[in-house]
Structure 1
């Protein structure tokens, strides 16, 4: 059996350097991973502590995963979950509303904390040199398997803040307009502050009164609710999962926030929890040569928390009549699975047309806030 090409696991202390490189590579607008080593070191410590906690309900936990190349040990990307966003520091957005008595169709943007206490998926980034088949799917979907197995750790409502429009030089058309009312800070500085500054500082930075689009230039208006060109694949994946935009946008780049109910997310509903049957690597699974199982791509995860592991593979076979997933010994060892123990898997080869279309261009970078 071929070895694992890539594996998802909780972040560790020795991943800090790679995380710092990702924060630099991702550039302005990636507010959940700012280019500040001390900030990132605290984030890693907090993530490790979060995975180790025994919980009955969500709190300030932050679960940060890394995607590791099994052959080289390189960190290919990251993905994360904020268990209860906005509890330790306000989670603010602009709410889009029709301007009262407007004849021009202009809108009003009002600051609010609508999503306080919701679970936020975040920090999704696939490094450009590690683009390959199923890497983006693994980074995105693994969070839903982890949440499906541990629903008590998360809110019933899941949100994702999508990176808004900015150009190659880091200029945001929305912020270029808003900064004239907010201290004239450049976009890179303000997005760095979004991740590191105190709530009081951010509150003083932004205007308190509602903003009217009637005074905005066309470029800024067009950016409201739109995503960065390299974030489109990530948004398409979430839309295929059932996420929808309800009119809330980011304070700095006006990128959309999308939401879904945990128990309605496609990957959560279609995942299967079952027992493991471990077989010898040289022995084909009972139904391996059956057309329904041949080259069937699956996302497989163990059921641990601090020792969580997941990957994408074609080496396992689902035996529905026995409620067993047949797994080669070497794959089981790498995922920490035991014979007769539990696993969770999600078929990827049977995704619907909308989701398949989201992955037609595998060369694109995937990232969101």
Structure 2
């Protein structure tokens, strides 16, 4: 069975909608709303069509396709720069230390500060893999394809990249963090706020969110306990981000308190370690239980970009690849591919 990552098109709307209904809430980049998803696909098409080699307000949407059946089984997104259209808000966890001579004691208070520090950074997000395909390294294929696309179009992305992980959501679909902080000021529950943000952006946060610091000690135990904690389904994603070089630097999502991970773009493992090579041969002798090394392969630009797993071996001044991956990528001898080791 062969899978390929490719640019999403308008014909993928129904596939994306079906996947969005499976996310379980708190998944802002993949809302279960046809109009919002259609808008995303339109914006993505414009981004793939834009040829200027500079950072812009681009959104790129990709899908994971089973090349044998044509079914779409996963998706991911890249934002070239956040905060260009409206402010990009995070909470930054800071501290205030005070000393009392009379008591002879020093007090340290942890504080949530509303911040736009991460404006201008690129963002990877919107990753979803169909539950029936969560094996065989397909999650890694989707995640790492984004970095290979960024490498292939480096001038269109910022020097810093972030990833927001979904925070803890309870069984009723609510957020303990939202209930303990922002929900007190907005008069709306988490589900409504999350849906509104997914459809219309978070400018309403700028309009209504109080700008003064929030003392963490004043929050409920439940709200405090989920600060910087990823949703259970996101722990594997957090580990993958850490493998790529992302780190948590005390930024959290303003809605659910989930961790926001950051990294210098050029230090992303898949970008730093990837190499370009000419395809010298396409071999039927490469593959599982045969010979060769299984690696991530990528080729093409913009809407023609594709990524897949493939079996490779050195060949002269380039590499040989297996026939199945060559077919999935649309690659022939003489063309160039980007390749990086599979973890």
TM-score normalised by L of structure 2: 0.92
Question: Quick one: which of 314, 318, 325 aligns to 2:314?
Answer: 318
Contact preservation (8 Å) 1:175, 1:252? yes
Separation in 2, partners of 1:256, 1:104: 26
Per-residue CA deviation, residues 237-257 of structure 1 (Å, 9 max, x unaligned), is 110111111111110111111
Aligned position for 2:147: 144
In the TM superposition, 1:307-346 aligns within 5 A as 307-314=304-311, 316-319=312-315, 322-346=316-340
Question: Is contact 2:78-2:124 (8 Å) kept?
Answer: yes
Instruction: Quote the residue 1:39 is aligned against.
Output: 36
More strand by share: 2
Deviations 1:30-65 (A, max 9, x none): 111212211110100111121121122110111111
1:12 — aligned with what?
A: 9
**2:176 equivalent in structure 1:** 173
Is residue 310–residue 322 contact of structure 2 (8 Å, CA) maintained in 1?
no
Q: What SS is found at the alignment partner of 1:227?
A: coil
Report deviation, 1:199: 4.6
Query: 1:251 is matched with which residue: 227, 250, 254?
Result: 254
Q: How big is each residue's C-alpha offset from its partner over 1:253-272, in whole Å with a ceiling of 9 and x where there is no partner? A: 11111111121111111111
1:106 partner SS: strand
RMSD: 2.1
The residue aligned with 2:224 is: 221
Matched, 1:22 2:19: yes
Residue aligning to 2:64:
67
Q: Distance in 2 between matches of 1:144 and 1:150?
A: 10
Give the Cα separation in 2 of the matches to 1:317 and 1:85: 39
Instruction: Extract unaligned runs of 5+ from structure 2.
Output: 100-105
Q: Deviation per CA, 1:324-344, whole angstroms, max 9, x where unpaired?
A: 121244532321213211100
CA distance in 1, matches of 2:337, 2:42: 27
TM-score by length of 1: 0.86
Structure 2 Cα separation of the partners of residues 336 and 106 of structure 1: 57
Structure 2 residue corresponding to 1:95, chosen from 69, 88, 92: 92
1:123-171 CA-partner distances (Å, limit 9, x unpaired): 0111212212110110111111111121111111111111111123212
CA distance in 2, matches of 1:227, 1:217: 18
Is the Cα contact below 8 Å between 2:309 and 2:325 reproduced in 1? no
Q: Is the 8 A contact 1:193 1:202 kept in 2?
A: no
CA gap of 1:124–1:332, structure 2 versus 1, over 3 A, is same
2:297/2:339 contact within 8 Å kept: yes
1:95 Cα deviation after fit: 1.1
In structure 2, the residue corresponding to 1:40 is in which secondary structure?
A: helix
1 or 2 for the larger relative contact order (CA 8 Å, sep ≥6)?
1
2: CA distance, partners of 1:310 / 1:88: 30
Q: Structure 2 CA distance, aligned partners of 1:106 and 1:208?
A: 18
Given that residues 183 and 190 in structure 2 are in contact (C-alpha distance below 8 angstroms), is that contact kept between their aligned partners in structure 1? no
1:304 partnered with 2:298: no
Q: Whole-Å Cα distance in 1 between the matches of residues 28 and 88 of structure 2?
A: 12
